[in-house]
Amino acid sequence: MRFLFVDRILELEKGKSAVGIKNVSFSDEYLVNIVPGFPVLPRSFTIEAISQLISWLVIYTKDFAVKPVAVMTDSTKFSGDIRPGDQMLIKAEIKTLHDEDALCAGSVEVDGKVVSELENGVCAFVPMEELEYVEMVKKRAYSLVGSRDLQQFIAETDLSIGEPGMFDNDRHFDLNLVDKVLDLKAGDYIVGVKSMTMTEDFVVDHFPKRHVMPGTMIIESLVHLAEKLIQETAKESAGTLVKILLKENRKIKFRKYVRPGDQIVMNLKLVDISDNTALAKAKVTVENKLVTSAQMEFQIIKLYNN
């Protein structure tokens, strides 16, 4: 699947704001099952949609001379899930614009309800020709110009372990962004590895001239790693099977590119955990050099007891 999260730009005012849409379909390969039979778009990918619309806004504003690259974000917040058949209304805003960077914000709405927000994101400008083929970007640019929630689904559905034939005909969504767990201590920390290869779908678009791992994919890899730690913690403490949802990211910083051939080592440590929420600090390194750091908050959903 192509790594494109804006289907159409509805409005664009140079230097100020833009509005776009992204449809979510069962054909999307990035869907995941939070619980069997409930495929959703990973929450972090809604931030990718905002970031891509911000990118188009900056590109138009700067007359296709630069490509913005995320550097840091104060906060991203999530308050709902997006399912096949939903249409995302994406909003992007430039708060301050300088010669070398911009401070931006944005949100995603579904059926009039805000489901994700990006606050105070800083993007640095890279000359367009270093990352993209300008004519290809221009061609793409010119082509652009309700459902039940998860808690209700769980309440209405029997998710007992081992029920014969349950969801046999359901498609499985198995996006997995952790290749290996190196170390894990329940209730405390986890260390894992994700390898980036040239076979990753997103390298076609991110970026054609310099393939790098999107920041969104790094954050989503941390979500997958956190779920392994929190699941093991819940299993040891209460014998409970749980799933998690990303609730908020704070103080996200991206310090260097991750390229094909790199292995990212992800360290995530729990700061606090309760029955319903978990707080963690995360850092990502490549060859012992810091790539990304973030503070993360998760919602914990209990499925059933073993």
Catalytic residue set = 206
Checking phi first, is residue 187 left (phi over 0); if not, alpha (psi -120 to 50) or beta? left
Nearby residues of 168 by Cβ (< 8 Å), 6 or more positions away: none
Helical H segments across 182-293, by residue range: 215-238
Tokens of 282: 């995360």
Q: Which of 77, 80, 21, 82 is nearest to 52 (CA)?
A: 21
Give, for 194, the enclosing helix (H) or strand (E).
strand 189-195
Tokens of 90: 């994406």
Q: Is 227 helix (H, G, I), strand (E, B) or coil?
A: helix
Eight-state DSSP code of residue 13: E
279, β-bridge pairs: 272, 297
Eight-state DSSP code of residue 30: T
Tokens of 290: 């810091």
CB 46 within 8 A of CB 115: yes
Query: What is the CA 276 to chain-centroid distance, rounded?
Result: 21
Dmax (CA) of the chain:
61
Nearby residues of 114 by Cβ (< 8 Å), 6 or more positions away: 79, 80, 107, 108
Cα four-point dihedral sign 215, 216, 221, 227:
positive
